Structures are given as structure tokens and as C-alpha cells.
Amino acid sequence: MQFINTKENLVVDSLDGLLRASGGANLARLDGYPGIKVILRTDHNPNKKVAIVAGGGSGHEPAHAAFVGPGMLTAAVCGEVFASPSVDAVFAAIMAVTGKAGCLVILKNYTGDRLNFGLAAEKARALGKKVEVLIVADDIALPDIPQPRGIAGVMFVEKIAGHFAEKGAPLAKVAAAARKASESLVSLGLSLSSCTLPGIGREDRIPSGKAELGLGIHGEPGVDLIDYDGAKHAAHLLADRIFKHAKPAKAYALLVNNLGSTTPLEMGLLTNEVLSHPKAAKIKLVLGPTALVTSLDMHGFSLSLMPLMPEFETALKSPASPLVWPGIHTHIKPKKIKLPAATKAKAFKASKNDALAALVGKACRILIDNEAALNALDAKVGDGDTGSTISTAAQHVSRNLPSMPLGNLSQFFAAVSDAMTRTMGGSSGVLFAIFFASASQAVAGGKTWLEALQAGLQRMRDYGGANPGDRTMVDALLPALAELQKSGSVAAAAKAARAGADATADMTRARAGRSSYVSESNLRGIKDPGAEAIARLLEGLSS
């Protein structure tokens, strides 16, 4: 399923949306829709400044229509998805923006683009227009072929050309700088999936556990299927290859490009891995991580590397204001600022209590062992991390037991509360921190350990807003503590907790916690993960 009306109108509808949301960006489209799909600047002076025209098939958004604007393109010519625009469309774009200053046409190295853009340029020349053509061929996936493909590195070329054009440089200077950048570029991509063609679907040619190296931006098969061994391996593999093929230089500019559906979280991680590569010390400027030249929804990324000389650095860092341009930034190492003293962990003097140590150690093992089961349950009503969240906290407490104040119950509860705030994420971590902090205060005030736990539960309810029947851990914890107070039996408390947890499966309306955002139909028959965790803990302790 895709958000489209018809395949035939997809590109036109998308370009109109771009224009409608462009505000005061001085953009327009040439008449002649839908055959001629050209987005161009309305503030360009063709007699004073060189025009920069680029484009190609659609499906690579934001390239190239969103890069029309000061400091970048003068016009973008858009074809249908993965199809070159017609000769007429390219010719119309050139004629619309080219005056005495001339025009530089930039295209990626694909047969259709070379033919259509090339013929259009020749037609414009025949009418007396000064037109230079630059074909970008930066893909090193197949280094031995006579016509390497053009991929995301074209963005460096367009930015450099746009800079010199905006400064009023003559056509010869603009073309020479762009050509010099193009000839030094190297790019390579890797993906975990192909792309989904509108109205057609996805070709699932990449098996699970594999990645395709060097695939084209139109979904063309890559040079090789490789074993996928994690993000670091993928990032370093591409970095190794682009540095191997790059021209020697003292410094480089790097583009980290999202091929479509790779999440920002993944892109940040991949960028970190690339910039941690042994040769990355020579990378001075970084463009991205961002989506500039995509391949619809391809789950992959590409790297482009360009030797950096002073005029290129100036051009890349100069202002540009198309609809989309993230700006280029200096590669720096992450800075660290010391934590405020108040946030440091409280110092508790270690003390022994063998019985408590054994009990807590067993409890931690139970929670750790149930991580997968609790995650699976939470995945049905939440984000699937209840088990991991609890297990992380349990592992921390277990590791640090020897250094905890086991001989002083008030301090022990305070230490557990402190551990919860540091290791257990989400609202559950805060609630348990409140629970144990309140229990610590109660013990310090003369309460028994059981009275302290009940005080902790009450304070947790006060802040969390949960009551019995609201489908939370309270449904298991409250009856368990009540039974423990009544009989002193852990086994009886476990039965009470189990009954409470099981009852949550019939509660189709949650009034607190994350499940309160889940529909009744999705809750029916599913036990609350927090309540289930309490039940499993007490059942384990009673065995």
C-alpha cells in the first residue's frame, strides 16, 4: 500500500504539493504539465548569472526539484519515476532560464539522461544559447565499466556550481569548477532491500541476512550480495572502498546519504561508524546524515567522498536557500561535559546481610530469565521492551550487590531507588524509584519492611495515578502485599499476584500506563506485562 492517487499523476501531484508549501521561495512551474515537469526560480536574472539546470527521473526526492533556489539550481527537470524527462522538457527548461550568461546542465550518467539532456542542449546551442553539459559518473561499484553511474555525489557538484553561479562567475569558471569536482568524486551504496515501485511493489531479491553492495538508485542490482554483519561492518566496508578509490588529498568532504527508508536513528549510527573509521581523520566537512538522493523507500545508504581544496570548501560552506539544503558541517569529535555534582550516585557504605543478598540475588535472576517472555507479552500491547527494561535494572543491582548497604535496610532501599533512576528507563523506572525511595523513608521512620513496601506502593499510586482495576502492575502488587501482611506466606502472596495478573487479561480498558492508549480490541485476552512481571517474580521466590 502506498499513498498515491494514480501512478500517472503521482509526480505531478507531488510537485504541486512542493510548490503549494513553498511559501515565498520564488518558485514556479513551466506551463505544459504534465508532459513538461519543470520547477524553476522566478528571481533568476539570466543575463547576469549562469543558470544551473539539473534533473532526471523522479523517485529520488528531495532531488532535484527541492534544490531549486539561490546558491543551488535554477531549474529542475523531472521525469516520471525512474524515467528520464523528455527532450522537450529539458529544452524548455534550458530556454526558460538561459540568457546572455549561459547555462550549465548537470546530469547523472544514465543512457536516457545523456541522450535526452544532450539533444536538448544541442537544440539550445543551435539557437545561439551558451550551454555547457556536465555528466556526473561517481559510482565506483563497477570501476571497470566505461560508463560508471551517477549517484548521490552529484549533490557536491550542484552545490559547487550553484555557488559560483550565484557569485556571478562566468560560464567557463562555473563549468570548470563543477567538472573538477565531478572528476574527483567517488560514491558507493549498500542496501538491505530494494525499492517499492509505485503501483507495482517491491522486488524482494535481497534475502534476510544479506545486503546488496553497489546497487543503483533505480533499484538496479548491485555488484555483489554480501553477508550483513551489522552496521559497523557495513559502514567500514563502504568507507574502505571509497577511500581506496579516492584521489589522495589532505582533507575530504563526505556525504552520508539516506536511500529512502533508513531511519534517522540508523543514519546517525552509520555516520558515527564512518567517522570512526581509521581514515576518517582526513574528513573535514560532513554533509548529512540526510536524504538527498533517494531511491524511493530503499532501506540503505550511500557514501560520497570528494577531495577538498580551498575553493571547494568555500563553495560547500557558502549560503544556499533552496527548499531543502541541510548545510555542511565540520567533522568534530564528540565533546563531553562533566555531570553536575548533584547527579552523581550517592555513596553508600557497603555492609553485609547474607539472607537479604541471597533473596535479592534470586529475585534478579528471576527477572533476567523472564526478559524474553515479558518482551513478547509487551509487544502485543506496547513497544516490546518491558522485559529488557526490568532485566537491565536487575542486572545492575545483581552486579553491584557486594557494594550495597545490605546491613541497613533504609539505605538499601535508597540504593535500589538510585539504581532504578539510572538504569531503568521509561515511566516504570521512575515508579519503582519512587516505590523504593518511599520505602526507605518509611524504614527510617520506624516502619517494618512490609509496612515500608506498602508505603512505597501507596506513594507509587499517588504519583502514577493507578488504582486496582486500571490494568497495571498495581493489580498484582497490591493483593500480593495485602496477602503477605495477612499470612506472611510468600507462596500465598504469589497466588494473589497471579490471580491479579490473570485478571488484567479481562480488563479491556486501561486507565493508566501505556496501555491506556491501546484500543479495547487489542487489549482483550492479553495480560498486563507489569502485573505479569510481579506475578512471575513472586512465583519464582516462592519456589
- Which residues carry out catalysis? 218
Per the omega criterion (within 30 degrees of 0), is the bond before 163 cis?
A: no
- For residue 27 the three cell numbers come to 518558485
Distances in Å between the Cα of 277 and the Cα atoms of 6, 280, 414, 421 are 45, 5, 43, 34
Whether residue 394 contacts residue 416, with contact meaning beta carbons closer than 8 Å, is answered with no
Whether residue 213 contacts residue 237, with contact meaning beta carbons closer than 8 Å, is answered with yes
Q: For residue 352, what are the contacts with CB-CB under 8 A and spacing of at least 6?
A: 406, 407
Alpha-carbon distance of 529 to 491, in angstroms, equals 21
Q: For residue 128, what are the contacts with CB-CB under 8 A and spacing of at least 6?
A: none
CA 491 from centre of chain: 47
Alpha-carbon distance of 120 to 278, in angstroms, equals 45
Whether residue 129 contacts residue 123, with contact meaning beta carbons closer than 8 Å, is answered with no
Closest CA to 181 of 330, 51, 307, 319: 307
Distances in Å between the Cα of 374 and the Cα atoms of 384, 387, 468, 541 are 8, 5, 21, 17
Alpha-carbon distance of 314 to 304, in angstroms, equals 18
Whether residue 459 contacts residue 434, with contact meaning beta carbons closer than 8 Å, is answered with yes
Alpha-carbon distance of 25 to 19, in angstroms, equals 9
Alpha-carbon distance of 531 to 512, in angstroms, equals 13
Summary count for the chain: helices (H), strands (E): 18, 15
Helix axes 87-97, 111-126, angle to 10 degrees: 50
Residue 289 sits at the vertex; the CA angle it makes with 184 and 190, to the nearest 5 degrees, is 70
Alpha-carbon distance of 378 to 506, in angstroms, equals 16
Whether residue 401 contacts residue 362, with contact meaning beta carbons closer than 8 Å, is answered with no
Whether residue 288 contacts residue 256, with contact meaning beta carbons closer than 8 Å, is answered with yes
Alpha-carbon distance of 399 to 337, in angstroms, equals 27
Whether residue 529 contacts residue 374, with contact meaning beta carbons closer than 8 Å, is answered with yes
